Structure formats: structure tokens, C-alpha cells
């Protein structure tokens, strides 16, 4: 049972426009969510996170939105840059546990 789902395996966006990556989860016990970015042949790097007590967290060009009632979160990148081209993973965890559950990733391609 896939508790964290990224239903879009790939996304292409024009440089300068907004990229929106989506993530859905099924476990209502998750209370902390993270986004990671992964370049080929490298490990994932942490991008941004959000606690379930918030519905938005912003860091520069990156904003994560959380809709708890819909069990949905999204990552907005604006403006998108060619260097943002990578695979993006969302992950979720429940407080008091150690096990992060990752989605299958979305490959973002930003076209120059």
C-alpha cells in the first residue's frame, strides 16, 4: 500500500513559469512533510518542509502548501529555472517514529 503518492511521473515547464508538483497521502497520522530534490547520480538533497500545524511554508522561490483535509501537499517553484530540472520526492513522517515514507518522485524538466 503506497501511503505517499506522486501521481505525475514527469512534468515539463517553460523557464520563468511556475512549476507545481503534487503529492497525496493516505495516512492521517503523518504530521510532518518534506520535499527532496535529486539530480542524476547524486543522493537526494533536502529542499523544504512543513509541519501539519501550518498550511504554507515559503523559502525563496520554493513554497510548500499543505491541505490536511484533502491529504494533499504541493510544491510550487516560481520562477522555474533550468537548474531546477531534477526528480522531486515528497516524504512524510509521524511524530515519535523514525520511518520516512517517500513517494515515487516526479521528474521536472524546465525548458530554456
Work out whether the CA dihedral 4, 82, 78, 17 comes out positive or negative.
negative
Binding mask 77-106 for another protein (x = CB under 8 A): ------------x-x-x-xx-xxxxxxxx-
Residue 35 CA: distances (Å) to CA of 3, 23, 53, 64: 15, 10, 17, 8
Size of the site for another protein (CB under 8 A): 26
CB-based contacts of 74, cutoff 8 Å, min separation 6: 20, 21, 22, 23, 64, 65
Which residue of 51, 56, 59, 81 would you call a contact of another protein, by CB under 8 A? 51
**Minimum CB distance to another protein, residue 71 (Å):** 17
Rounded-to-integer distance, Cα 64 and Cα 47, Å: 10
41 binds another protein (CB under 8 A): yes
**Whose Cβ is closer to another protein: residue 18's or residue 46's?**
46
Point out which residues bind another protein (CB under 8 A).
4, 6, 32, 34, 36, 41-46, 49, 51, 89, 91, 93, 95-96, 98-105
Amino acid at each position: 500500500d503506497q501511503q505517499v503518492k506522486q501521481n505525475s511521473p514527469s512534468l515539463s515547464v517553460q523557464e520563468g513559469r511556475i512549476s507545481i508538483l503534487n503529492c497525496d497521502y493516505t495516512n492521517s497520522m503523518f504530521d510532518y512533510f518534506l520535499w527532496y530534490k535529486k539530480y542524476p547520480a547524486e543522493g537526494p538533497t533536502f529542499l523544504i518542509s512543513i509541519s501539519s500545524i501550518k498550511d504554507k511554508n515559503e523559502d525563496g522561490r520554493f513554497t510548500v502548501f499543505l491541505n490536511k483535509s484533502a491529504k494533499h501537499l504541493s510544491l510550487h517553484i516560481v520562477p522555474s529555472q533550468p537548474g531546477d530540472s531534477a526528480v522531486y520526492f515528497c516524504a512524510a513522517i509521524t511524530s515519535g517514529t523514525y520511518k520516512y515514507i517517500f513517494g515515487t518522485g516526479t521528474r521536472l524538466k524546465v525548458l530554456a
